[in-house]
Amino acid sequence: MRITLTERAAGKIAKLFAAHKLPPGACLRVGVRGGGCAGLSYTLDATDAPHDGDEVFESRGVRLAADPRTAPYLDGTEIDFDEQWAAGGFVFRNPNARRACGCGSSFNV
């Protein structure tokens, strides 16, 4: 399983971690839950440490964690950060998504 961050996303996450004074071992939990207009929604959560059983890896200096149940939905996903004023935020480029909603925050496989 592999999730990658663009340089822009990694920079934004590093700034958020620093602003919230997270410890050096902190990681970004990336997940999927049911919901959204396309069926599945992405989740992002900063945490001090990964949970037991998480798949843990690193991209551009940021530790990432995903639980094994949702990891297959995320394999190959690239996370970017869009700084547009109205529609800015994290953007997911998921090769497993067969359909996505218009805003890109939910998908279906």
Domains in the chain: ranges and CATH? 3-104 (2.60.300.12)
Query: Could you say which residues of the chain have pLDDT below 70?
Result: 1, 35-38, 85-87, 99-109
pLDDT of res. 24: 87
Instruction: Classify burial at 99, counting beta carbons within 10 Å of its beta carbon; exposed 0-12, middle 13-18, buried 19 or more.
Output: exposed
Pairing of strands 77-82, 3-5: parallel
Sign of CA pseudo-dihedral 74, 98, 102, 107: negative
pLDDT of res. 109: 63
Q: For residues 100 and 97, what is the distance between their CA atoms, to the nearest angstrom? A: 7
pLDDT of res. 53: 94
pLDDT of res. 70: 87
pTM to 2 decimal places? 0.85
